[in-house]
Amino acid sequence: MKRLLIVDDSPTMRRMVIASLRTIAGTEFTEAGNGLEAIEKLSLGSVALMVLDLNMPDMHGLDVLQFLRGHAPFKDIPVIVLTTKDDAVSRKSAIDAGATSYLTKPFHPQTLLENATRLLESVKARS
């Protein structure tokens, strides 16, 4: 079973993301409402993919990315940044910090699903 970690301070947005990704076979979902909670959830078991908001309380999404990429057990987890920030500086900052993919809100469920499926297949191919 592949565990997907959905990190967003909006419970509604987390539900929308999960609804968009529910058709991926063999997945279960874990949710976090902020960056600190996300790091805590990472310690509870392996994560195959993370969908991460940038603007959150307690710990910004870029800080979560830097934590992931700086710690060996988490450095290869694919991360889809899903944020309202639709500017080149935010996109570059996220990619430079280690984001695998960058999507903006409002998002198209099919685009998110295609990105997640592609990244999970890429991880499977490397295993």
From CA 31, how far away is CA 125, in angstroms rounded?
A: 26
Per-residue pLDDT of the chain (127 residues; tens, 9 = 90+): 899 999 999 999 999 999 999 999 999 999 999 999 999 999 898 999 999 999 998 899 999 999 999 999 999 999 999 999 999 999 999 999 999 999 999 999 999 999 999 999 987 766 6
Chain centre to alpha carbon of residue 101: 9
Predicted TM-score (pTM) of the model is 0.96
- CA angle 119/57/7 to nearest 5° reads 20
| Superfamily name with CATH number, domain 2-126 | Response regulator (3.40.50.2300)
Find out whether 32 and 5 touch, Cβ atoms under 8 Å: yes
From CA 54, how far away is CA 52, in angstroms rounded?
A: 6
Domain boundary assignment for the chain: 2-126
Residues whose CB is less than 8 angstroms from the CB of residue 27 and which lie 6 or more positions away in sequence, other chains included: 1, 2, 3, 4, 21, 48
